[in-house]
Amino acid sequence: MLLALLKQIGRSMVTSSQKTSGLQKPDAQQGTAHILGETEQQFEKPDKLLSSALTEHIEWCTQYDAPSPSGELYSAWSRIPGGHKWHHYFPVYEKVFASLRDKPLRILEIGVYRGSSLKLWRQYFHPKSCIVGIDIDPDCMRFEDAANHVFVRIGSQADSTFLQSVVDEFGKFDVIIDDGSHLSTHTLASFNFLFPSGLKDEAVYLVEDTHTNYWSAWKDSKSSFIDVAKQLVDLMHDHYTDSERVIYFTKGHAGRLPALFVPRITTLIDEIRFFDSIVVFHKKLKPAPPTNEHLSG
Ligand SMILES: C[S@@+](CC[C@H](N)C(=O)[O-])C[C@H]1O[C@@H](n2cnc3c(N)ncnc32)[C@H](O)[C@@H]1O
């Protein structure tokens, strides 16, 4: 709803900025359907758009286990008692986190359970990293290990006052991992608060177990978190939907737009990566929209 409102406001502001700058939107593009704010929009089913070579149903054998992952993280995790994780997450973690290991980070994990992943992150990340776990279950306090910079705080991931107190105490985070309740409303509530207010300007937000979005017990709202993540792909491109010509972004061009009015999130998302059951957002403060340049010759 809020995003829809933002979109509406943004659209009317762009129109007024274009009026003041003498720019006209190309007529043919007027009235283009905007994705957010029109969530009832029906998309064609994939089997209408994709070839049968891609959509025909084939047998996927479940009679043998996929090989265990290789790599340092799986090897470390397999020696920590009490954990439960899908094997295919480990190569994803390594892809996303490998480049972040050489410096001390502030890491927040939502969902402590038996403390296994806190131990895993302690072993994997820089030894001076501060690792904070939050959980609704007070029993998780026993996994705090302050001597090794591992802290646990008790509260709900859906409670922004609690989340703010965690940010106030530890500062903004470099990495946030949501492995909490996986209820759609909780995942979204945490994202809504933490992505703008709990993450540093350049940081990673990883949501795992997103397969639960397809299971009715966890989908406690009309739109799942995956639905929202797909819409965020559109929001990452919002500046193109209201200014539909390349010259509006061209360096030195007389027709370049003086300003664009976009939802704030458009200026904050640098990358969205969808994996099986994991979505990763790279936050990066983008002070200006993208520029293109036509080189002579
Ligand atoms: C999947 S387990 C976490 C597993 C842990 N990350 C690991 O890999 O070892 C989920 C945890 O989320 C916690 N949880 C459930 N609802 C929550 C909420 N509203 N806020 C915070 N944590 C919650 C549960 O108590 C449980 O410990």
Given the residues 182, 237, 282, 294, the one annotated as active site? 182
**How confident is the model at residue 61, as a pLDDT?**
85
Q: What share of the chain is helix, strand, coil (3-state, %, to 5)?
A: 40, 15, 45
**Ligand 1 proximity of 156 Cβ (cutoff 6 Å):** yes
* 209 CA from centroid of ligand 1 (Å): 11
For residue 157, the ligand 1 atom closest to its alpha carbon is 20
| Distance between Cα 111 and ligand 1 center (Å) | 3
Q: Please report whether residue 261 resides in a domain.
A: no
**d(CA 230, ligand 1 centre) in Å:** 24
Residue 207: inside a domain: yes
Owning domain of residue 120: 89-224+267-284
- Where are the alpha helices (H) located in 37-147, listed in sequence order? 46-49, 52-55, 72-77, 89-97, 116-124
**Does the beta carbon of 135 lie inside 6 Å of ligand 1?**
yes
Domain with 277 in it: what CATH number?
A: 3.40.50.150
Q: What is the pLDDT of residue 257?
A: 87
- Strands, DSSP E only, in 56-198? 106-110, 130-135, 150-154, 173-178
280, part of any domain? yes
Please report whether residue 297 resides in a domain: no
Q: Residue 114 C-alpha to ligand 1 middle, in angstroms?
A: 9
Residue nearest to atom 22 of ligand 1 (CA): 135
Identify whether 211 is part of a domain. Answer: yes
Is 76 among the domain residues? no
Confidence (pLDDT) at 203: 98
For the chain, what is the domain count?
A: 1
Q: What is the pLDDT of residue 6?
A: 40
Q: What is the spatial order of strands in the sheet that 269-275 belongs to?
A: 150-154, 130-135, 106-110, 173-178, 199-208, 278-284, 269-275
Q: What is the pLDDT of residue 19?
A: 34
Q: Is 206 near ligand 1, meaning CB less than 6 Å away?
A: no
What gap in Å lies between CA 225 and CA 271, rounded to an integer?
Answer: 17
Check residue 294 and give its pLDDT. Answer: 86
Residue 179 belongs to some domain of the structure: yes
Is residue 115 within 8 A of residue 143, CB to CB? The reply is: yes
pLDDT (0 to 100) of residue 42 = 63
Q: Please report the pLDDT score of residue 41 as a whole number.
A: 55
pLDDT tens for the chain, 297 residues: list them.
Answer: 444 444 443 443 333 334 333 333 333 333 333 334 444 456 788 878 999 999 999 998 888 888 889 999 999 999 999 888 999 999 999 999 999 999 999 999 999 999 999 999 999 999 999 999 999 999 999 999 999 999 999 999 999 999 999 999 999 999 999 999 999 999 999 999 999 999 999 999 999 999 999 999 999 999 999 999 999 999 999 999 978 899 999 999 999 988 889 999 999 999 999 999 999 999 999 999 999 998 888
Active site residue 57: no
Q: Is 51 within the bounds of a domain?
A: no
